[in-house]
Amino acid sequence: MRDHGGHAGVADACRPITDILTRVGDKWSVMVVMLLGNGTKRFNEMRRLIGGISQRMLTLTLRGLERDGLVTRTVFPTVPPRVDYALTDLGRSLLIPISALGAWAYGHRDAIDAARLAFDARADAGAAPDSQAS
């Protein structure tokens, strides 16, 4: 807050929010949170349920969520080892707005898809006014 003269714009004020939105927006976080919304899960269980996520990314995603206080990680010192992941209260509270966002996305997927097709068609028409497709 020391540059009254400058005008950094809203980007500055929004940094904390943008920061958190980045978490929400990354490829797997939302899916993991939604999955844990159904209850506690183990590592490879989630891996199977999600399908298509690499081991590495599941680890990193869970670490990020744990760091943000959204997920708890519980290790059972058995052999073979067992680790349970669950949402914290904070994580559960996040479930509400992201479900709303997910519902919006699902509800408008057709409109968005149509808009994309139309846009791409316009772009193609502009780039290649000739009726030949490449």
Partner DNA sequence: CAGTATCCGGTCGGATACTG
Partner DNA sequence: CAGTATCCGACCGGATACTG
The residue from 15, 19, 20, 45 that contacts DNA (CB under 7 A) is 45
Which listed option, DNA, a copy of itself, none, makes contact with residue 80 (CB within 5 to 8 Å by class)?
A: DNA
Task: Kindly state the smallest distance separating residue 68's Cβ from a copy of itself, in Å.
Answer: 5
Which tokens in the block code for residue 96?
Answer: 């509400």
Q: What is the C-alpha to C-alpha distance for residues 43 and 69, in angstroms, rounded to an integer?
A: 18
Q: Which residue number, 126 or 132, has a Cβ lying nearer to a copy of itself?
A: 126
Single-letter residue type at 48: R
Smallest gap from residue 79 Cβ to DNA (A): 8
Taking CB under 7 A as the rule, does residue 32 contact DNA? no
Residues 6 or more apart from 95 whose CB is under 8 A from it? 33, 34, 37, 87
The CA distance from 25 to 11, in Å, is 17
40 binds DNA (CB under 7 A): no
What CA–CA distances, in Å, run from 7 to 3, 10, 28, 69, 85? 8, 9, 35, 33, 43
List contacts with a copy of itself (CB under 8 A): 7-12, 14, 16-18, 20-22, 24-27, 30-31, 35, 48-53, 66-70, 90, 93-94, 96-98, 100-106, 108-109, 111-116, 118-120
